[in-house]
Amino acid sequence: MAATRVLIVEDDADINQIVATHLARHGMDCTQAFSGSEARLLASGDEFPFDIVVSDLMLPGLNGEELVALIRERDARVPIIVISARTAASDRIDLLKLGADDYLTKPFDLDELVARIEVQLRHRGLAGAGNDAGGATAGASSSVLTFRAWELDPEAHTFTVAGEPVELTRIEFNILHALISHPKRVFSKQELFERAWGEPYAADDNTVNVHLSNIRAKLKASGTDGYIKTVWGMGFKLQED
């Protein structure tokens, strides 16, 4: 099996090297960038050349927020983990809206970074790899699922609205898979988190809300954003015709 290809974007040379050395010890193939502009050049080409990105926010040239947005435009599914000294909840929310998958505040534990990378990679290319929360997991079935104008294919990892493809991040895809798999069920935020992330619930309410907001924004042009109904005090379900 090929080594995991990690792009590390950090302008502090010491931190960059420490992270690269530690990840290499865990069998990962690390490419180091020391500015957002350098990372942009490394990420260019017809096919995105990395399996996961670990990036700081305060970068010379192209800042972290711009880099996250650029990478997300290039590849809707590649996991992005942001590491930053910023601790405000608003910063985490803004990054989730841009498409980041996880956020670690500095100083961080290197083993925790490895664990978070492994969580992201465990589900890369899948609609969920199972969890300990019980019930069906996103990606447990290979059959195409439909709901009104939506069609979701867990095996091909595609989602279309009236035949038109919609690009989703891994988390967004997993959330929709959970909802479409059980269209009459009301999912709590905890249930959606555990199915989408494949790990025990460990986030504030804004995490799930932000991803649902992103999904609705992507569906607005098709007029199907209203398919997702908020059940106040309980969670979310699909709105049947």
Structural domain for 177, as ranges: 145-238
Q: Could you tell me if 25 and 114 lie in one domain?
A: yes
Q: Could you tell me if 20 and 99 lie in one domain?
A: yes
Kindly report, residue by residue over 185-210, the tens digit of the pLDDT.
899 888 888 888 777 776 566 788 88
Q: Could you tell me if 164 and 112 lie in one domain?
A: no
Q: Could you tell me if 118 and 152 lie in one domain?
A: no
Work out how many domains the chain is built from and give that number: 2
Q: Is the pTM of the predicted complex or chain greater than 0.75?
A: no
**Bridge pairing between strands 52-56 and 29-33:** unpaired
Answer whether residue 127 is part of any domain.
no
Give the E-state strand segments of the chain in sequence order: 5-9, 29-33, 52-56, 80-84, 102-105, 145-147, 150-153, 158-161, 164-165, 228-231, 235-238
Q: Could you tell me if 175 and 222 lie in one domain?
A: yes
Q: Could you tell me if 90 and 176 lie in one domain?
A: no
Q: What is the DSSP letter of 226?
A: G
Answer whether residue 190 is part of any domain.
yes
Answer whether residue 149 is part of any domain.
yes
Q: Could you tell me if 102 and 176 lie in one domain?
A: no
Going by C-alpha positions, the residue among 50, 38, 42, 43 that lies closest to residue 11 is 38
Kindly report, residue by residue over 121-175, the tens digit of the pLDDT.
876 653 333 333 333 333 334 488 999 999 999 888 889 999 899 988 888 898 9
